[in-house]
């Protein structure tokens, strides 16, 4: 049985973030295939005392909760832990942690690197951080034994920038089966009604452009609908505080970070879903909304376009006027459940594909 150690995530289960959701779905399925799987978590994000979850072993390491260097310190400690555990494979997620792929290789550990998107494009990073993230991407793409990319956009990017075309595997993000449900008490608490709200669901960071969504909704006839923003910031900063203030002034419903039944009921009953972001790898939140058959309005960035929605569901990223018009259209029309083809995003198939990548590493 192979021994697999996973890092590059804050941890699982129920920890906010796209990579976190990815790992939460993927690794119980990998463990179920008989792979000895350990996820190394950042203690500062963990709210439980679990040492195992759904067959996945959990190891917590101390990491300073500092935006600029927590990922790198955590990865360094996780690599040392993997070496101590005699891991056969270390799976590193995201380009920041990938900076230490050469260090892992130096210790004689075989490395799989999943590129979740060019994080240096995110608005929250300053110049120094962007340079380090670019270097992380380079280290991961140049030195990992196998590279997994979650979209064609990223596959083309690393072929163009680093000439990496061999041992690269396109394996999409997935989405679980929708859990269609109602939660009347929760809706009462939020002051919303079924079918009468637009849902925005993501982290409160600048590149998600949630301020554009608030602005657009403030300028249209919402016809008894409200705007609901589900999510929060990892680190309260000027942007997240400003967004919350703007939201309150415009009567927006803020739920905070939600999972489980609360989230499923919000996805079940929304009028439509909107993702106005300027940067994504392959957005799990959008795939989740699609799995519930929600009409969507999304920015026309490459990662969103790759999902292959009808042209009318896209608007030019940053164009608040166009976003306003698209949302007005969706609200005016009677709600109609959309039947998207979600077959590419099946976690069971994705787990098989990732296991096949591990098998290549004898």
8 A C-beta contact, residue 201 and residue 273: yes
Fold category of 184-332 in CATH: Rossmann fold (3.40.50)
Give every strand in the sheet of 272-275, ordered side by side: 253-256, 226-230, 197-201, 272-275, 296-299, 314-315
pLDDT at residue 66, as a whole number: 75
Q: Can you tell me the distance from the alpha carbon of 109 to that of 143, in angstroms, rounded to the nearest whole number?
A: 12
pLDDT at residue 337, as a whole number: 94
Q: Provide the 8-state DSSP code for 32.
A: T
Q: Provide the 8-state DSSP code for 151.
A: S
CATH code for residues 3-174+346-359: 3.40.50.2000
Per-residue pLDDT tens over the stretch 85-109: 999 999 999 999 999 999 999 999 9
8 A C-beta contact, residue 358 and residue 35: yes
Q: Can you tell me the distance from the alpha carbon of 276 to that of 271, in angstroms, rounded to the nearest whole number?
A: 16
Burial 37-59 (b: 16+ CB within 10 A, else e): bbbbbbebbbeeebeebebbbbb
Question: Which pTM value belongs to this model?
Answer: 0.87
Q: How far is CA 163 from CA 69, 159, 160, 291, 345, in A?
A: 29, 4, 6, 35, 27
pLDDT at residue 122, as a whole number: 77
| Alpha carbon 47 to chain centroid, angstroms | 20
CB atoms within 10 A of CB 212: 22
Q: Where are the domains of the chain?
A: 3-174+346-359, 184-332
8 A C-beta contact, residue 151 and residue 116: no
Q: Can you tell me the distance from the alpha carbon of 170 to that of 107, in angstroms, rounded to the nearest whole number?
A: 27
Residues of the chain with pLDDT under 70: 1, 67-68
pLDDT at residue 199, as a whole number: 98
8 A C-beta contact, residue 182 and residue 265: yes
Which residues are within 8 A (CB) of 46 and not within 5 positions of it... i.e. 6 or more apart?
11, 15, 60
Per CATH, 3-174+346-359 and 184-332 having the same topology is answered: yes
Q: Which of 327, 347, 11, 55 is nearest to 175 (CA)?
A: 347
Per DSSP, the three-state class of 318 is coil
Q: Which of 180, 123, 177 is nearest to 343 (CA)?
A: 177
Q: Provide the 8-state DSSP code for 100.
A: G
pLDDT at residue 234, as a whole number: 81
pLDDT at residue 1, as a whole number: 60
Per-residue pLDDT tens over the stretch 159-205: 999 999 999 999 999 998 999 999 999 999 999 999 999 999 998 99
The kind and range of the H/E element at 309 are none
pLDDT at residue 231, as a whole number: 93
pLDDT at residue 112, as a whole number: 98
For residue 225, give both structure tokens.
């609908």
């Amino acid at each position: 049985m192979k021994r697999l150690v996973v890092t590059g995530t804050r941890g699982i289960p129920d920890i906010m973030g796209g990579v976190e959701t990815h790992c939460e779905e993927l690794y119980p399925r990998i463990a179920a295939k008989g792979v000895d799987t350990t996820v190394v978590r950042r203690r500062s994000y963990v709210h439980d005392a679990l040492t195992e979850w759904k067959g996945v072993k959990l190891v917590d390491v101390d990491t300073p909760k500092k935006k600029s260097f927590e990922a790198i310190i955590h990865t360094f400690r996780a690599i040392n832990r993997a070496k101590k555990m005699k891991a056969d494979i270390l799976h590193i997620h995201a380009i920041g942690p990938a900076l230490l792929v050469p260090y892992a290789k130096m210790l004689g550990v075989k490395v799989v690197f999943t590129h979740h998107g060019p994080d240096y494009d995110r608005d929250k990073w300053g110049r120094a951080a962007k340079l380090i993230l670019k270097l992380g991407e380079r280290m991961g793409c140049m030195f990992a034994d196998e590279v997994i990319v979650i979209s064609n956009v990223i596959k083309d990017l690393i072929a163009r920038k680093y000439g990496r075309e061999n041992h690269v595997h396109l394996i999409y993000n997935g989405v679980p089966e929708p859990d269609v449900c109602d939660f009347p008490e929760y809706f009462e608490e939020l002051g919303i009604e079924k079918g009468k709200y637009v849902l925005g669901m993501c982290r409160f960071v600048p590149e998600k452009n949630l301020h554009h969504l608030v602005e657009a909704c403030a300028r249209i006839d919402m016809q008894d609908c409200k705007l609901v923003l589900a999510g929060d910031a990892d680190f309260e900063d000027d942007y997240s505080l400003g967004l919350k203030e703007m939201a309150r002034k415009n009567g927006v419903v803020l739920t905070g970070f939600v999972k489980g039944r609360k989230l499923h009921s919000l996805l079940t009953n929304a009028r439509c879903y909107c993702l106005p972001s300027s940067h994504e790898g392959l957005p799990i939140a959008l795939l989740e909304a699609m799995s519930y058959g929600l009409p969507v309005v999304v920015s026309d960035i490459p990662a969103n376009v790759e999902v292959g929605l009808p042209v009318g569901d896209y608007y030019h990223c940053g164009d608040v006027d166009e976003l306003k018009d698209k949302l007005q259209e969706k609200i005016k029309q009677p709600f109609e459940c959309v039947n998207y083809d979600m077959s590419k995003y099946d976690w069971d198939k994705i787990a098989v594909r990732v296991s096949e990548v591990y098998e290549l590493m004898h």
